[in-house]
Amino acid sequence: MGRGLRIATIRGIEIKLHPSFLLALLWVTYYWGIAPDNGLLGVLFGVFILTAIFVCVVGHELAHSFVALRYGLTVHDITLLPIGGVARIEQVPMTPRREATVALAGPILNLIVAAVLLPVVLAVALASGVRDAYGFLLMIQGIDGASFVIHLWIANLMLAAFNLLPAFPMDGGRIFRALLTGVSNRVLATRVAVFLGQFLALALIAAGFYTRDVALPLVSIFIMLAAFVESRMIYVEAALRSLPVGQFAVWDSGGVSPDSPLSHAVLGGPRDLAVTEGGVVVGMLWRDEVLARLHQGNSLRVADVMDRDVTAMDVDSSVYDVHRRMLATGRTAIPIVEGGLYRGIFTSDRLVHVHRYLQERFGTRDRYRGLIEALGLMGR
Ligand SMILES: [Zn+2]
């Protein structure tokens, strides 16, 4: 998602303004300047409020991001759209507890801001002699400090409330799924949360028609697309869990012996190789290490360079589990055994084949994914 104007970088996370953010500025100009006939002062005040609210939106996304960073996830960037922020956080399988913690962090930040603002809002309301909701509504029409504080307070409450709705792709949907995963499986839990997301989106479209508000249908389109992407990622995950790694491993006749000279091991071109003794995997010969040590002469044997800290996985293990192990060990290949004996190797290159295979199975759905990526709506 290379689009967007970079406005800041915080702890390595780029914060970008999506081109569509111009719509928000146009809306502010109309809502604060033209419609109430407040002129330039109204527009400036509107831009000031918009900026303050989006500082809170950035805070919300940074709260997600900082918790994610603490769990060792990569945060790619944060993009601000007219309808809110999107933090692109690495999609890695996590425990339901961690997933819920990452999701909760955003709304909690807005609740804290709202709690801090509450005494100010009360003081301002008391000082202006406001007695009821109508007086409150009148106050937020004004172009002054009181109106500003109340707007910011309401915005933070709404950010928290909206994001806590138990529907994908809102944070509440993730928390809801994490809770459901405890009592059900992840795919079913996701389906329920996605269904609620679609229901909510339809409700927003209906509300948009009823109130003649264009923002609501726009938000609902965003919700539907994001829910779709989320459900697809979960189906891919479920598919990866059902595919045995044996179906995609590269079959190998026997690996190299620990006693072979290192130079023999690179005869077929440098690559990650399994080291076996009597058919049993005893280590791995990593391509990079071989290349780094080849110049040390011909006296080196495979046993001198091999990595003995290697776990092989069974042919019946799922591609999903093998991939997780690769991520956990930070290695690009894993030896595959059958009945305890070496049969072949699964490398990160093979993952491309797995995804191609899945793409054929899921077919045209990927067109939508392209559309969503183009819109820059991927992420959380
Ligand atoms: Zn959030």
Say what angle helices 39-70 and 21-28 make with each other, to 10 degrees. 150
Residue 173 resides in a domain: no
Both 123 and 55 in one domain: the answer is yes
Both 51 and 116 in one domain: the answer is yes
Cα 217 to middle of ligand 1, angstroms? 20
Residue 176 resides in a domain: no
**What does pLDDT average to over the chain?**
81
Residue 61 resides in a domain: yes
- pLDDT class of 67 with cuts at 50, 70, 90: very high
Both 200 and 263 in one domain: the answer is no
Nearest to 101 by CA among 174, 39, 169: 174
CA–CA gap between residue 217 and residue 19 (Å, rounded):
19
Going by C-beta distance under 8 Å and a sequence separation of 6 or more, which residues neighbour residue 136?
125, 130, 150
Cα 136 to middle of ligand 1, angstroms? 28
Mean pLDDT of 301-307: 83
User: Count of alpha carbons within 13 Å of 152, Cβ hemisphere only?
Assistant: 25
Both 236 and 316 in one domain: the answer is no
- Contact indicator for 281, 257 with CB cutoff of 8 Å: no
Phi and psi at residue 10, to the nearest 5°:
-120, 120
Residue 175 resides in a domain: no
Q: What is each CA distance from 300 to 1, 206, 285, 294, in whole angstroms?
A: 46, 73, 13, 8
E strand intervals along the chain: 5-10, 13-17, 75-81, 84-89, 250-251, 273-277, 280-285, 313-314, 333-338, 341-347
C-alpha dihedral (157, 163, 167, 168), degrees to nearest 10: 170
Q: Determine whether the annotation assigns residue 307 to a binding site.
A: no
Both 36 and 132 in one domain: the answer is yes
Both 152 and 188 in one domain: the answer is no
Q: Which of 132-136, 207-211, 250-254 has the highest mean pLDDT?
A: 207-211
Whole-number pLDDT of residue 230: 65
Cα 47 to middle of ligand 1, angstroms? 23
Q: Is 296 helix (H, G, I), strand (E, B) or coil?
A: helix
Which residues belong to the active site?
61
Residue 145 resides in a domain: yes
Whole-number pLDDT of residue 311: 83
E strand intervals along 198-279: 250-251, 273-277
At residue 368, does pLDDT exceed 60?
no
Both 274 and 187 in one domain: the answer is no
302: CATH: 3.10.580.10
Q: What is each CA distance from 270 to 75, 266, 289, in whole angstroms?
A: 33, 5, 10
More confidently predicted of 102 and 294: 102
At residue 375, does pLDDT exceed 60?
no
Last residue of a domain, one of 164, 199, 226: 164
Mean pLDDT of 153-168: 87
Last residue of a domain, one of 241, 262, 285: 241
At residue 109, does pLDDT exceed 80?
yes
Domain span at 133: 5-164
CA–CA gap between residue 50 and residue 21 (Å, rounded):
11
Residue 379 resides in a domain: no
Q: Determine whether the annotation assigns residue 64 to a binding site.
A: yes
- Contact indicator for 335, 310 with CB cutoff of 8 Å: yes
pTM of model > 0.75: no
Both 104 and 151 in one domain: the answer is yes
Cα 81 to middle of ligand 1, angstroms? 13
Q: Determine whether the annotation assigns residue 60 to a binding site.
A: yes
- pLDDT class of 213 with cuts at 50, 70, 90: confident
Both 148 and 230 in one domain: the answer is no
At residue 233, does pLDDT exceed 50?
yes
Both 57 and 154 in one domain: the answer is yes
Cα 327 to middle of ligand 1, angstroms? 26
Last residue of a domain, one of 206, 241, 276: 241
Please write the tens of the pLDDT for every residue from 47-66: 999 999 999 999 999 999 99
Whole-number pLDDT of residue 224: 72
CA–CA gap between residue 36 and residue 20 (Å, rounded):
24
Both 145 and 22 in one domain: the answer is yes
Whole-number pLDDT of residue 229: 67
Whole-number pLDDT of residue 364: 44
At residue 325, does pLDDT exceed 60?
yes
Mean pLDDT of 111-132: 88
Residue 219 resides in a domain: yes
Whole-number pLDDT of residue 91: 67
Nearest to 181 by CA among 242, 100, 64, 72: 100
Query: Which secondary-structure segment (H or E) carries 289?
Result: helix 287-293
Residue 172 resides in a domain: no
Both 9 and 158 in one domain: the answer is yes
User: Count of alpha carbons within 13 Å of 299, Cβ hemisphere only?
Assistant: 1
C-alpha dihedral (322, 326, 327, 328), degrees to nearest 10: 100
Percent of the chain, pLDDT > 90? 12
- Contact indicator for 140, 202 with CB cutoff of 8 Å: no
- Contact indicator for 96, 185 with CB cutoff of 8 Å: no
Whole-number pLDDT of residue 119: 94
Whole-number pLDDT of residue 378: 38
Going by C-beta distance under 8 Å and a sequence separation of 6 or more, which residues neighbour residue 25?
47, 50
Nearest to 29 by CA among 44, 43, 45: 43
Structural domains counted in the chain: 3
